[in-house]
Amino acid sequence: MLVDLPQLVQGLLDGTLARQPDMTVVGRAATSATMADAARATHPQFVVVGLHDAELPQACRDLLAEQPRLRVLGIEAAAGHAHLYELRPERVDIGEVSPADVVDTIRETAARPSHL
């Protein structure tokens, strides 16, 4: 699921993810405030959300608490950095990312067992 991403970043991710046979974008939300309803309807394994700073929006924290197997990948488009959040939420700094790096992070994280 893609949420609140700058148009250029979303376009790059759409193209990259469309070429992945094991990944599908199941939904989109214009803002993190509208994300919860969209996530409940689509049941994503990952939410890729645009961050305006390094802090995870409260709506994402609430969604992690509600859906503990969910993982959130926050992308700071201005800085070109990403952070992976899991239940608690836990932040793992990833550093500078490209669309291919986002795909690799999703794939590697999905292969790991969740905290539950």
pLDDT for 2-26, tens place per residue?
999 989 889 999 999 999 999 999 9
Whole-angstrom CA distances from 39 to 15, 51, 96 are: 21, 18, 26
What local confidence, expressed as pLDDT, does residue 27 receive? 93
pTM of the complete model beyond 0.75: yes
| CATH number corresponding to 2-97 | 3.40.50.2300
Q: How many angstroms separate the CA atoms of 67 and 65, rounded?
A: 6
What local confidence, expressed as pLDDT, does residue 46 receive? 92
Burial code (b: 16+ CB inside 10 Å, e: under 16) for 24-34 equals ebebbbeebee
Residue type, 80: G
- pLDDT-flagged residues of the chain (< 50): 116
What local confidence, expressed as pLDDT, does residue 88 receive? 62
What are the structural domain ranges in the chain? 2-97
